[in-house]
A and B are shown apart, each in its own frame.
Chain A
Amino acid sequence: AQSVTQLDSQVPVFEEAPVELRCNYSSSVSVYLFWYVQYPNQGLQLLLKYLSGSTLVKGINGFEAEFNKSQTSFHLRKPSVHISDTAEYFCAVSPAGTASKLTFGTGTRLQVTL
């Protein structure tokens, strides 16, 4: 079984500032790791994913994440946020080899202000 912990429920940040959203996971097997974004009353959109190989993964909208196996972390970062980045962000894991049966964290609300 897998579990995901998102350490911050809310992260307020000013526009153009950098941001890091933290994610730690637990699993007894190898995993795939994902970050999804959810805008109000919308479904989930994939930002980026780690399957294997390079531990630094780049995604859409200028986001990137780094997989750290020893710390079982997959933190999401963006060097300069925009107002339009205001949304809920979810970290998720699945057993390696399949994107099925995702286990999600409880989410981090990113609030970007001027």
Chain B
Amino acid sequence: DTGVSQNPRHKITKRGQNVTFRCDPISEHNRLYWYRQTLGQGPEFLTYFQNEAQLEKSRLLSDRFSAERPKGSFSTLEIQRTEQGDSAMYLCASSLGVGADTEAFFGQGTRLTVV
């Protein structure tokens, strides 16, 4: 296993368009997280899944954002009607989620630029 994989690495889109990002977690990990990181800031929690169930969503996750993890494996994050303020690095992470859940492993992120 090569770790958490995110695609695409970079995405440039026009304002108002929809975009979708994909995250493939480490195979035996039950928990999957999405974070957003804007320039000069630390990552901020958006949402997380335990298997296919979305257990928590941050208030940062507006109605234009939707995340899914249909079979408890990979996850997608969709942003509808993108705005310039959505420009950020979107980070995915995964963790075991059972027993001693002590470390989250991060992917390399998807950098979104809305023009």
Contact = CB atoms under 8 A, between A and B. Distances in A.
A51 interface: yes
A90 B41 CA distance: 10
A32 B102 contact: yes
A100 B104 contact: yes
B102 A90 contact: no
What bracket does the count of chain A residues touching chain B fall in? 20 to 34
Contacts of A71: none
B109 A42 contact: yes
A99 B95 contact: yes
A44 B102 contact: no
A99 B102 CA distance: 5
A101 B45 contact: yes
Interface residues of B, number: 27
Contacts of B41: 106-107
A74 to B, nearest CB: 14
Interface string B80-115: 000000000001010101000111111111010000
Given A43-B91, A49-B102, A99-B101, A104 B42 contact: yes
A41 B44 CA distance: 17
B111 A44 contact: no
Interface in A91-114: 92, 97-107
Contact of B106 (A44, A49, A101): A44
Interface in B27-48: 31, 33, 35, 40-45, 48
Interface string A30-57: 0010001000011111100101000000
Contacts of A45: 106
A101 B56 contact: yes
Interface of A: 4, 32, 36, 41-46, 49, 51, 90, 92, 97-107
Given A99-B102, A103-B45, 5 more contacts: A41-B111, A42-B108, A101-B48, A104-B42, A107-B40
6 contacts: A4-B42, A32-B102, A44-B43, A49-B103, A90-B43, A92-B42
